[in-house]
A = this chain, B = another copy of it.
Amino acid sequence: MFRKVLIAEDHEIANISIQKTLQDFGIQEAKYVYYCDHALTWIKKAQRDGEPYDLLITDLIFEDDNTPQQITSGIELVQAVKQVQPDIKTIVFSAESRSRVIDDLFSNNQIDGYVRKARRDAQYLNEALKTVYANKIYKSPDSADGALVKNSHEFTTFDIHIISLLAQGVPQKNIPYYLQQKNIKPSGLSSVEKRLNLMRDVLDFSKNEQLVAYCKDIGLL
């Protein structure tokens, strides 16, 4: 089993439980930090001392508490750590449930495991440790996509920009101007209208207010 493990998790309650889970595995050398910057510092230090960590367990979102930090999210932490020590194993432990976000972690950021904070998370974390130690990829079953797929619409960054501007009170007819400012590719008013029309159609909405409400609900805004 893993010898040295580093845990980056700002919620004290979650941190405590991860500790306990590791103890049950007989892992003695575990370090627990509450900030991403501290995590990177410990990784570097261990690397220098010739006693590198085998595994990093990290959350995705770290709440800002006005302590200035260089690294502010789990994704950035993984990327920074991989630069220092490319062979380290990483497990992300987060409440994120959007399949696109989770899949991005595996494809772009080369993580080894994902456990969603949900009903049987302790059990799944346990399985993740075993699986990742065996050099395999682990994804907790409740984060395996396909669950939320009813008549959902895959929002592009273009879509999100439009809805975001609407939610900020920009009149529809002025949206082209804002899109040009950001060099976003289609910027014509008709393109905006057509895209809004398509989104409303797919989601069976009739008004833009519904789009804003929907995006707020699924955490897109």
Q: Which of A12-20, A79-87, A99-107 contacts B (4 or more CB under 8 A)?
A: A12-20
In the complex where A17-B16, A209-B212 touch, is A119 in contact with B11 (Cβ < 8 A)?
A: yes
Chain A, interface size: which category?
35 or more
- A14 and B14 contacting across the interface, CB-CB below 8 Å: yes
A207 interface residue per 8 A CB criterion: yes
Interface presence of A51 (CB below 8 A):
no
Residue in B16, B120, B171, B213 whose CB lies within 8 Å of A207: B171
Contacts of A168 in B (CB 8 A): 210
Q: Answer whether residue A49 sits at the interface, using C-beta atoms and an 8 A cutoff.
A: no
Tell me the A102-125 residues at the B interface (CB within 8 Å): 117-123, 125
Say if the beta carbon of A68 comes within 8 Å of chain B.
no
Q: Kindly list chain B residues whose C-beta atoms are within 8 Å of the C-beta of A216.
A: 212-213, 216-217
Interface residues, chain A, CB within 8 Å of chain B? 10-14, 16-18, 20-21, 34, 63, 65, 95, 117-123, 125, 166-171, 205-210, 212-213, 216-217, 221
Q: A12-B121, A170-B207 are in contact. List 18 more A-B contacts (CB 8 A).
A: A10-B119, A11-B117, A12-B119, A13-B13, A13-B17, A13-B117, A14-B17, A16-B122, A63-B118, A65-B119, A95-B95, A166-B207, A168-B210, A169-B207, A169-B210, A212-B213, A212-B216, A216-B216
